[in-house]
Structures are given as C-alpha cells and as structure tokens.
Amino acid sequence: MKLFFGGLATETNSFSPIPIGLESFEAGGLLRGPAVAAEPIPVRARELGLDVVCGLYAHAPPGGLVRRDVYESLRDELLEQLRAAGPVDIVALSMHGAMMAFGYDDCEGDILARVREIVGPSVTVGAVFDPHSHLSPEMQRYADALLFYRENPHTDIDERSRELVDLLVRIARREVRAETSVFDCRMADVFQTNREPMRSFVDRMRALEQGNVLSISVCHSWRRGDVPFMGAKIVVITDNAHAEGDALAERLGMELFSMRGIAHARAVPLQEAVERVLAAKHAPILLADISDNPDCGAPGDATYAVRALLDAGVRNIAWGALWDPLATRFAVEAGVGARLSMRIGGKACALSGEPLDLDVVVKAVNSHAKQTTSGGEIPMGTTAALVTDGLEIVVTDHKRQTFGPDLFTDLGVNLATKRVIVVKSAQHYRIMFEQHFAEDIPIDSPGVCISDIRKLPLKRIPRPMWPFDEDPFGENKAAQA
C-alpha cells in the first residue's frame, strides 16, 4: 500500500493585526524532502510496511489572514506533489484546522475537497488536527476520518498522528467501514485537559474507544475565528454503526456542555493579579499574559502587565518573550555590556499599549535561540536579555509564545531568584515551567486575545451559542441531560 503525506497549517485569528506571508511559513517550518519523512505520520506508515511519499509540510505561527497568493501557491505545490505520486491508497494530512486566507474561510475544507478531486472516491483520505480548530461541512464531506489531539496542552501530537495512520490503514484494507457522527455542542470555551473536570472526561473518551467505536475526538473550537462553523463539536467514528455513534456523540456533547465555564483556570483581572503578587508570601509568582499570547495571533509586545507591576512598586521581575525586533536589533548591534536608552514593546497595534522607555544594559545575546517543549525544540531567532532596575526582559525578533524556562536561562536569567515571572503564553507554559513557580495566575488584560470573547466583534458565528446565549439548546436540554 502507498501513503501520501503532507500538510499546510496555521491558526488564523480574525482580529489579529499580524499578516501571514511566506516569511511566516519559513520561520515556522517550510519542510520539503527528507525533513518531512521524520514527521510522525510517515514514520508510523513505514513501521507498518507502507510505501510513503512525502509532499510539502508547512506551518506558520498564528496570526491574521494568510496572503491569498501564498496560500494558493503552497496549496497547489502540495496538490501537484500528490498528482505526481501516482496512484495512492491513502492520503494522510496534518493540518491545524483554523486556517483562513484572503478569499478562503475554510482552507482545510478547500484542501480536502481538492485532494478528493484528485484521488477519487475509493482512496482513503484522513487528517489530524489541533483541537483549537473549526470543523466545517466540507471537511466532513471529503474525508474518511478526522482526528483531533486529545490533550490541551498538546502533549499527544505524535500519538494522535500515529493513531490516524493505524485507522486509515484499517479503512483502506476494508477491515472497517468508518462512519462519522458529529454533535454540535453550541458553545465556545477553553478546555484544559490537565485538570478536572476535563481530565476525567478525556480518560472516559479513551475507555469508550472499543468495539464499534473506533475514535472519539473533541474539536474544542477556535474562538477567535469569525466563521459560520465556529464552535465545539464531538466527533465519533464508528465501524458501520452510525446510530450508535450519533447517540454517543450527543451524550458526550451534552456532558461537555455541562462543563461550560468551569473547564479551565479563571483569568484574573490584571489589578487583582497585582494585588495577589503584593500579598504573596511565596515566590516566584508566574503571570501568564494570555491576552497577548503570540500563538493565539497576538503580537506579543503588550506592556500592560509589567507596567502595572512596576507602577505598584513590584521589582525583581523576569519578562519574556517580548516580540520587539527593533529592540533586539539594537541590543545585538550595541553588544553585551552596552548601556542603552530604549523604547520597548507597545509597537504593533493599539492593543499593545504604550511602550516602556527604559535605560537598560545588554546582559546577553543569542543569535540562534530556541526553547524546549514537550514535543522538541522551537527556534526563537535572535534573543537578548536586557537588564534595568528590578526587571530583566527577554526580547526576540521571532514571534512565538513562551514555552520553556530555557528561553530565560540560556541568557543567564535566574528564575529561581525572581519575585515574578511574566510570560507571553496561555497554558502551554505549564508543561515546562511546572518546577519553576510557586503559583501561576492567568491574567486578563487588554489585548488581541482577550479571554472574554463576548467582547470581540464576532459577526458570522452560528447562534445560539454559549457564552453569547445562556441556553442555546432551549428547554434546558443541558439540565435534562
């Protein structure tokens, strides 16, 4: 059997001021040839004895809409590679699920439709997605199997990729007849699977994958994509048992709906967070600046959190990674030990806040920076550590969220001695930072990625939907369930 693998991925925030062009894909990973063969899907396919043909695998950090010409060029390259592969038995794709381009609300649906047009109805087609995804009718129509990562933070990317290959092989060999059931939960929320109640919910989902039930996924939704198919959904794939799948998807969907508003840590208003820092008897306190998370499409240069701490008299702060290419360039050109008067942060858009005017010393520079995550290393371009009175700042020319403490420690910033650590991240920091803070507080401050999506000008999402509508099912169906 022959399997074709490829993918094209990013996460589009409809309200992000950051355009996504070819340079964004080059920075995130524009892989061709042997580099693609090391991805988990082709690795698993070779383990199963399949012939594997790898096409383009490209991903860009989250931002706004992708340039139309860039999307179409990369998409068409991938499709031409599929055509050139000749007859294949399986097409397995790795995509994000929330990619939008100018002229395209549903890039994943567009790609799957064109793949199906090339290979015809008899070839098995499937894909694996980030759970912060949309699930459109086109995605369902043209794929035999759609899987989503179970975990958030996403610690199971390799596992779910391998499971996709296993399932697609069974479908292609006609060992099972895959039927997909989808239940619309009519909600848009955050679901952290490393804490209750989601931990037990995901564990029960796994336990239910037996007999006719081949796969269960939660599409968490991407809450900042203004599209008609936004919202959380349960996806159940059965072996020729559609009615059973429909019933199970609805039962799990209503259970998920009952967890609305309680499945994640509450974001604390910024002033309340500052007061908690002032009152704390332990350290360090980690403040997660979720409203300015670059991997949510935010610029990553907002200054609200640190300005509030400084105004309250808090010192001994580590802050990063702040996306400020200009400050990074100045630090590199001035060199380690240089003293500079710099205007830091607050540059990308109105929601970035006012810049901080600071006298700093360049402590360290790293021209090949990286951070370690549970899934490997992520390049960070050039970083610099800037020191001023009571504050150490890591600036970068590469817009990514803060994943690991080595972003700081590789530049000589000692986190153990800090009173406060401020990171540009929503929750992925928890995996690698767990041993580096006494308490973590997600903060709700102004920004492109504000936690209360009711404040966003979402115009095209389906309604009714929680939290915009308190009882979207009517007649209190959730209570009855």
The answer to whether the pTM exceeds 0.85 is yes
**Whether 39 contacts 57, CB under 8 Å:** yes
pLDDT in tens, the chain (481 residues): 999 999 999 999 999 999 999 999 998 899 999 999 999 999 999 999 999 999 999 999 999 999 999 999 999 999 999 999 999 999 999 999 999 999 999 999 999 999 999 999 999 999 999 999 999 999 999 999 999 999 998 999 999 999 999 999 999 999 999 999 999 999 999 999 999 999 999 999 999 999 999 999 999 999 999 999 999 999 999 999 999 999 999 999 999 999 999 999 889 999 999 999 999 999 999 999 999 999 999 999 999 999 999 999 999 999 999 999 999 999 999 999 999 999 999 999 999 999 999 999 999 999 999 998 877 888 899 999 999 999 999 999 999 999 999 999 999 999 999 999 999 998 889 888 988 999 999 999 999 999 999 999 999 999 999 999 999 999 666 555 5
Do 217 and 185 contact (CB within 8 A), yes or no? Answer: no
CA dist., res. 130 & res. 97, Å (int): 6
| CA angle, residues 33, 34, 37, in degrees to nearest 5 | 105
Q: What is the DSSP string of 392-450?
A: EEEEESS------THHHHTTT--GGG-SEEEES-SSTHHHHHGGG-SEEEEEE-SSTT-
Enclosing H/E stretch for 127: strand 124-129
State the maximum Cα–Cα separation within the chain, in Å, rounded to a whole number: 69
For residue 480, the model assigns a pLDDT of 53
- 41 vs 83: CA distance, rounded Å: 19
Asked if residues 146 and 120 have their Cβ atoms less than 8 Å apart, the reply is no
Handedness of CA 253, 268, 428, 198 (dihedral sign): negative
Structure tokens at 434: 């767990």
CA angle 405, 286, 441 (to 5 degrees): 135
The pLDDT value given to residue 477: 65
Contact 11, 98 (CB under 8 A): yes
What is the per-residue burial (b if ≥16 Cβ within 10 Å, else e) of 370-406? bbbbebeebebbbbbbbbbeebbbbbbbbbbbbbbbb
| Local structure of residue 460 (DSSP, 8 states) | S
User: Could you give the dihedral angle defined by the CA atoms of residues 167, 252, 375 and 325, in that order, rounded to the nearest 10 degrees?
Assistant: 120
Instruction: Please give the Cα distance from 456 to 476 (Å, whole number).
Output: 26
Token pair, residue 158, equals: 């390799």
Do the strands 51-59 and 30-31 form a parallel or antiparallel pair, or are they unpaired?
Answer: antiparallel
Tally of CB atoms within 10 A around 121? 7
